[in-house]
Amino acid sequence: MLAERGLVFPPINELLRWQDIFPTFNKIALIAVLAAIIGMGLFALAARADAKKAPTGARNLAETTIEFIEEGIVMQTLGKSGLGWTPFLMSLFLFIFLCNIPGVIPIFQMPATARIAIPLCLSLLVWVIFIGTGLKHQGAGYFTGLLWPAGVPTALKPLVGGIEFISTIFVTPFSLTVRLMANLMAGHILLVTFGLLTEALATAETQQIFLVPASILPFFMLLFITGFEILVAFLQAYIFTILAAVYINNSTVGHGDEH
């Protein structure tokens, strides 16, 4: 009966692909640009605030974000010597979060990270940085320590080396990409599903008026998922950033070394 009322779930392609606003620039690109502008704007406003006064507004938010990244990520993974990575990790976290959160904002209703392009580019950026950091700190020996951690028996080195090579070169950027994209994509699809179901039941025709009270169930589920997706937007930004910090730390101190 609901199908006769016109409840048709849109094709998956319509949920994840948007028409261009102008050639090569669509809603996903717009969200990414806005995320970058908002992030830079926040710290530009914070920098203009009077440092002699108690922090308020943008400055207070900026300082809270910096403190969170330093205490919750940098000190937990890189230690005091890694505080120089704070600007990069803070930018990474803030950009990902601002790309995630539009999934629960009306009009946008789409997390930019639910498309593979942005998660993949960020993952490759992290990959290049931690490989480059390893080469900077350890030279060519970085790859030796990476492929053959200390204590590996000679007979097992070919097997362990192959596994470590595949893990570092292919699995690491792939897992970073898929973890971020899949979590945000799943949430987006759930929001669309319960949103459509709520609308279909709430606007039932006269002969199906008995369906209207039932709309409260998917509506409450929609509210719950919306709140949950706000948490997911934060957690996925945090997880991506802390993993980036862990990979950088491994490259800095040596694969398998104690921090």
Chain-centre distance for alpha carbon 136: 27
Tell me if 110 is assigned to some domain.
yes
Which of 230, 197, 191, 229 lies closest to 216, judged by CA? 197
Q: 23 lies in a domain?
A: yes
> What's the chain's average pLDDT?
84
Counted domains in the chain: 1
Does the structure show a pLDDT above 80 at 12? Answer: no
130 belongs to a structural domain: yes
Mean pLDDT within 159-179: 86
pLDDT for 39-74, tens place per residue? 999 999 888 876 667 667 788 899 999 999 999 999
- Is position 7 within any domain? no
Query: pLDDT tens for residues 14-26?
Result: 666 667 777 878 8
Domain around 240: 12-253
Nearest alpha-carbon partner for 199 in 228, 222, 229: 222
Percent of the chain with pLDDT over 90: 44
Query: What predicted TM-score, i.e. pTM, was given to this entire model?
Result: 0.85
Question: 117 pairs with which residues across the strands?
Answer: none
> What percent of the chain has a predicted confidence (pLDDT) above 70?
83
The answer to whether residue 4 sits within a structural domain is: no
Q: What is the pLDDT at residue 10?
A: 65
